[in-house]
């Protein structure tokens, strides 16, 4: 049996209770604390989706929230200038570096067995490295997205000096980390083949499916009643869940809806989430006259998200057409799989391989709305094929991406690594 660990997690965008959006680490910490591990989270005060502080953090530099006996969340200052300019974005990153160092040194108690840093942003690695030195604690560095590559490809990062600095720091933190966790096989290949990271230092604990939520709802949730209450009856509902940001390039869903809406008024894109591009997307929907074909839902808690997915005919995962995104898994893909929903996958690379290996969806070339429209049109009359793909995805995720099994693997791997001299 694994020993009970005292873990310091540094995650700038750790979600508040009840938040919508990705929940990898919220779920991971829940499962770990249920097993008796002690977790302290250093997180930022600025919300990932809104870029703003909530009222409870106004005027505070550090706020400690003791969730229960096993979990403490310490939130520290982050500048709200992220969306103002490039300089504001950098300051948002580094303001958290400084505030989290203060919080980690002065506001945490006891001796930690391990410090885990999850990136992006890459610069949280500064906090993790310095705290690991000061506390003489092993450092585990997790890569949720290859950075700075993704920021460069989407046009977020353009300054050559900053890019060089980011690559230099990336190489430094890979050398100093005791263990590096990656979320996809493509990340692992890139680190080994292009960045010369020793293979034995790398482990892969990917994003996962939350069967605890989906299986309860699969047995108790009244889908028909929900569809009636939410004006989804007689509609072919394609649900997107996630960020509405530059990287997601959701305009391609709006363009697809515009192509389909006259001939197939039953097709409805349900867009759930928040992000910098949401206001623009709403304006585009209004301008193109497709308000009946695209509906926006604000971010909702995870269980509510699953209800919308279960009331849908399909889910879709979408990203901008850039090479870096060929290396990523969209975390919401696993939610669709756990709800037995087929997937229209508008991401090439490992995500495409995932749906093709699982036979749980259809790959659609990104930024090709004409093709997306044709594929949707083709499946409007194939409900049995959609059902079979949904069942396939559910089965495949149970075998390869069960969150509880992966959480146990993560703890076991950390325990083995920190136990070595």
Which pLDDT score, from 0 to 100, does residue 83 have?
63
Which of 4-8, 15-19, 243-247, 301-305 shows the highest mean pLDDT?
Answer: 4-8
Which pLDDT score, from 0 to 100, does residue 246 have?
87
Between residues 108 and 162, the one the model is more confident about: 108
Q: Check if the beta carbon of residue 131 is closer than 8 Å to that of residue 108.
A: no
Q: What is the mean pLDDT of residues 368-395?
A: 97
Asked whether residue 1 carries a pLDDT value surpassing 50, the answer given is no
A 10 A CB-CB count for 5 gives: 18
Rounded Cα distance, 41 and 73, in Å: 5
The reply to whether 211-400 shares the fold of 6-208+402-418 is yes
Bridge partners (DSSP) of residue 116 are 9, 140
**Does the structural domain 211-400 have CATH classification 3.40.640.10?**
no
Asked whether residue 69 carries a pLDDT value surpassing 70, the answer given is yes
Which pLDDT score, from 0 to 100, does residue 22 have?
57
Asked whether residue 419 carries a pLDDT value surpassing 70, the answer given is yes
The chain-wide mean pLDDT, for the chain, equals 91
Q: What is the pLDDT of residues 105-160, one digit of tens each?
A: 999 988 999 999 999 888 999 999 999 999 999 999 999 988 888 878 777 777 78
CATH number of 6-208+402-418: 3.40.50.2000
Dihedral sign from CA coordinates of 120, 305, 295, 15: negative
What is the edge-to-edge ordering of all strands in the sheet holding 6-10?
62-66, 71-76, 38-44, 6-10, 114-119, 139-143, 179-182, 202-204
Domain boundaries, the chain: 6-208+402-418, 211-400
The first and second tokens of residue 60, run together, are 């505070």
Rounded Cα distance, 256 and 346, in Å: 12
Q: How confident is the model at residue 178 (pLDDT cuts 50, 70, 90)?
A: very high
Q: What is the pLDDT of residues 310-353, one digit of tens each?
A: 999 999 999 999 988 999 998 899 999 999 999 999 999 999 99
- Residue in the block written with tokens 């977790």: 39
**First-last CA distance in the chain:** 20
Rounded Cα distance, 417 and 205, in Å: 15
């Amino acid at each position: 049996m694994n020993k009970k660990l005292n873990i310091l997690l540094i995650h700038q965008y750790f979600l508040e209770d009840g938040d919508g959006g990705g929940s990898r680490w919220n779920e991971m910490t829940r499962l770990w604390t249920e097993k008796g591990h002690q977790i302290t989270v250093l997180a930022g005060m600025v919300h990932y989706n809104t870029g703003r502080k909530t009222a409870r953090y106004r005027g505070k530099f550090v706020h400690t929230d003791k969730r229960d006996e096993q979990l403490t969340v310490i939130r520290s200052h982050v500048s709200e200038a992220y969306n103002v300019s490039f300089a504001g974005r950098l300051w948002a990153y580094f303001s958290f570096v400084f505030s989290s160092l203060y919080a980690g040194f002065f506001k945490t108690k006891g001796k930690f067995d391990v410090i885990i840093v999850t990136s992006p942003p890459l610069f949280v690695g500064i906090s993790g490295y310095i705290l690991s030195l000061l506390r003489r604690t092993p450092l585990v560095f997790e890569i949720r997205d290859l950075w700075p590559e993704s920021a460069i490809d989407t046009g977020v990062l353009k300054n050559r000096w900053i890019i060089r600095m980011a690559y230099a720091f990336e190489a430094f933190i890979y050398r100093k980390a005791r263990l590096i966790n990656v979320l996809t096989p493509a990340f692992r290949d890139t680190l080994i083949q292009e960045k010369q990271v020793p293979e034995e230092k790398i482990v892969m604990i990917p994003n996962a499916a939350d069967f605890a939520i989906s299986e309860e709802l699969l047995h108790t949730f009244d889908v028909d009643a929900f569809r009636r209450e939410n004006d989804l009856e007689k509609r072919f509902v394609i649900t997107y869940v996630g960020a509405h940001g530059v990287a997601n390039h959701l305009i391609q869903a709006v363009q697809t809806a515009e192509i389909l809406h006259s001939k197939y008024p039953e097709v409805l894109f349900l867009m759930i989430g928040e992000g910098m591009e949401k206001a623009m997307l709403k304006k585009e929907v209004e301008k193109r006259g497709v308000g009946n074909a695209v509906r926006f839902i604000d971010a909702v808690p995870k269980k509510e998200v699953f209800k919308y997915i279960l009331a849908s005919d399909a889910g879709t995962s979408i990203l901008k057409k850039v090479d870096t995104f060929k290396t990523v898994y969209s975390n919401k893909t696993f939610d669709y799989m756990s709800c037995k929903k087929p997937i229209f996958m508008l991401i090439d690379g490992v995500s495409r391989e995932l749906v093709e290996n699982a036979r749980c969806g259809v790959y659609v070339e990104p930024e090709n709305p004409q093709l997306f429209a044709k594929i949707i049109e083709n499946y409007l009359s194939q409900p049995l094929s959609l059902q079979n793909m949904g069942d396939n995805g559910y089965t495949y995720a149970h075998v390869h991406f069960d969150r509880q099994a992966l959480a146990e693997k993560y703890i076991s791997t950390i325990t083995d690594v920190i136990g070595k001299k």
